């Protein structure tokens, strides 16, 4: 279901180089052949198949932003989320929240030890910032770290760590020697030092490995450059960039499913697609996807020049996820009763996007980021 030729209203593809289009098309083929066939079953079973991890590694998704650049990373996230947001979350966390902080904030020894294994998929990593009582206010986290020679000993409880049950290493954020945001530091904690357990009862991102991490005197190694809450937020900004791209892939999948369905499904003696209200929904989705495609390309070009700001990332993450969620709802509506089954992708994307809307900064938090930028007044204070 590679939709690029038929779903590119404003010719965003013309802004890509031949090499970028080739990489995108290769990622699309890998998604069609290796990820899409697993998506509905993985969601229904509530598991992340090992075959997905292998496919993501072989298509070069792990560490793509580091090794291939912002455009390649974004295009890959768009294609992967066309299959499932949980699959994209695996790649996004591995790349932006584990490999990127090791690459940007780690020591030469840490880079040599972990980056090759993480890139190949031999090892998975997770990012542990959120806690049961600390979500949108990460400065209130309660995990503590105390020095013990060259290492540190950590105690605390983390929640919603993607890849956590399979992770060989966790990037853990803890307060070290103080109680304010400036005391927060990042640590690498290896498997065996933390206990991971699945989070039961999820009705969204079911194909994502979500974990609680128990740190009861775990030994951790500090990331030299990961000091202050700002370091953690830089990691999250990397991830939000990928989410802004990925959401467009989810919207594309929903649009294509609805368009194909209403062209074939007949009611009152003619195709559903011939009715005005149906065409209005399709036109709205088509328009919104086309605008988001252009925005993604501009984000990548800004990022290539080191000119992309956190406010611009908040702008895109907020707008594109809301757009994709609305597209999923409209597509589900057009499919009628069939739309609530896993035989079609919209209900799965709809449920997944409810989570994407509230992780890596909720929709409302990003609204306040934009509000502060517009007015100069901080609504968080």
φ, ψ at 3 (rounded to 5°): -100, 10
Measured CA to CA, the distance from residue 312 to residue 219 in angstroms comes to 37
For residue 2, the model assigns a pLDDT of 46
Q: Would you name the residues annotated as active-site residues? A: 360
Ranking 27-31, 66-70, 125-129, 131-135 by mean pLDDT, the lowest is 131-135
Strand pairing class (169-175; 125-128): parallel
Instruction: Identify the residue with better confidence: 177 or 279.
Output: 279
Q: Are 353 and 324 in contact (CB under 8 A)?
A: yes
Query: Percentage of residues in the chain with pLDDT exceeding 70?
Result: 98
* Residues 6+ positions from 296 with CB-CB distance below 8 Å: 12, 74, 78, 244, 245, 248, 316, 320
Q: Which CATH number fits domain 125-228: 2.40.110.10, 3.30.70.20, 2.30.31.20, 2.60.120.260?
A: 2.40.110.10
* Residues 6+ positions from 85 with CB-CB distance below 8 Å: 205, 208, 246, 250, 349, 352, 353, 355, 356
Q: Are 86 and 127 in contact (CB under 8 A)?
A: no
Question: Where along the chain do its domains lie?
Answer: 12-120, 125-228, 232-375
Q: Are 19 and 32 in contact (CB under 8 A)?
A: no
pLDDT at 57 over 50: yes
Would you list the DSSP string of 103-169? Answer: HHHS-HHHHHHHHHHHHHTSS-EEEE--BTTBSS-GGG---EEEEETTEEEEEEEEEEEETTTT-SE
Would you list the DSSP string of 37-75? Answer: HHHHHHHHHT---HHHHHHHHHTT-TTHHHHT-HHHHHH
CA 116 to chain centre: 21
Confidence at 186, pLDDT banded by 50, 70, 90: very high
Residue 250: CB atoms within 10 A of its CB come to: 31
Measured CA to CA, the distance from residue 303 to residue 329 in angstroms comes to 31
Measured CA to CA, the distance from residue 338 to residue 328 in angstroms comes to 14
Name the class of domain 232-375.
mainly alpha
For residue 381, the model assigns a pLDDT of 66
**Token representation of residue 377:** 């007044």
Measured CA to CA, the distance from residue 111 to residue 104 in angstroms comes to 9
pLDDT at 5 over 60: no
For residue 89, the model assigns a pLDDT of 98
- CA-closest candidate to residue 31, choices 202, 246, 259: 246
pLDDT at 104 over 50: yes
Q: What would be the CATH architecture of the domain defined by 12-120? A: Orthogonal Bundle (1.10)
Structure confidence by residue, pLDDT tens digits, 325-378: 999 999 999 999 999 999 999 999 999 999 999 999 999 999 999 999 999 999
For residue 177, the model assigns a pLDDT of 86
Structure confidence by residue, pLDDT tens digits, 213-265: 999 999 999 999 999 999 999 999 999 999 999 999 999 999 999 999 999 99
Q: What is residue 339's DSSP assignment? A: G
């Amino acid at each position: 279901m590679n939709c690029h030729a038929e779903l590119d209203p404003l010719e965003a593809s013309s802004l890509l180089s031949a090499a970028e289009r080739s990489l995108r098309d290769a990622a699309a083929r890998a998604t069609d052949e290796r990820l899409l066939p697993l998506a509905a079953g993985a969601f229904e079973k509530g598991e992340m198949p090992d075959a997905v991890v292998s496919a993501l590694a072989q298509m070069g998704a792990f560490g793509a932003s580091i090794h291939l650049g912002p455009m390649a990373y974004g295009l890959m996230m768009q294609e992967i989320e066309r299959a499932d947001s949980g699959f994209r979350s695996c790649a996004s966390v591995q790349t932006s929240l584990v490999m990127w902080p090791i690459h940007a904030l780690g020591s030469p020894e840490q880079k040599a030890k972990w980056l090759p294994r993480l890139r190949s998929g031999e090892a998975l990593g997770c990012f542990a910032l959120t806690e049961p009582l600390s979500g949108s206010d990460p400065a209130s986290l309660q995990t503590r770290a105390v020095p013990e020679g060259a290492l540190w000993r950590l105690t605390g409880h983390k929640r919603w760590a993607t890849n956590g049950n399979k992770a060989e290493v966790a990037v853990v954020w803890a307060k070290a020697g103080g109680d304010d945001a400036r005391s927060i530091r990042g640590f690498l904690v290896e498997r065996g030092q933390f206990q991971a357990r699945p989070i039961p009862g999820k009705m969204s991102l079911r194909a994502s490995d979500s974990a609680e991490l128990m740190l009861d005197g775990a030994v951790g190694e500090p990331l030299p450059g990961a000091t202050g809450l700002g370091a953690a937020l830089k990691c999250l900004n990397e991830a939000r960039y990928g989410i802004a791209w990925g959401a467009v892939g989810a919207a594309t999948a929903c649009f294509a499913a609805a368009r194909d369905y209403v062209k074939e499904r007949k009611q009152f003696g003619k195709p559903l697609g011939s009715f005005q209200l149906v065409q209005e929904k399709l036109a709205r989705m088509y328009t919104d996807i086309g605008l988001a495609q252009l925005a993604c390309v501009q984000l990548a070009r800004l990022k290539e020049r080191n000119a992309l700001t956190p406010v611009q990332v908040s702008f895109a993450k907020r707008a594109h996820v809301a757009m994709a969620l609305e597209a999923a709802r409209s597509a589900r509506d057009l499919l009628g009763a069939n739309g609530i089954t896993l035989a079609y992708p919209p209900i799965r994307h709809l449920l997944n996007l409810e989570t994407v809307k509230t992780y890596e900064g909720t929709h409302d938090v990003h609204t306040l980021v934009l509000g502060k930028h517009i007015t100069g007044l901080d609504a968080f204070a």
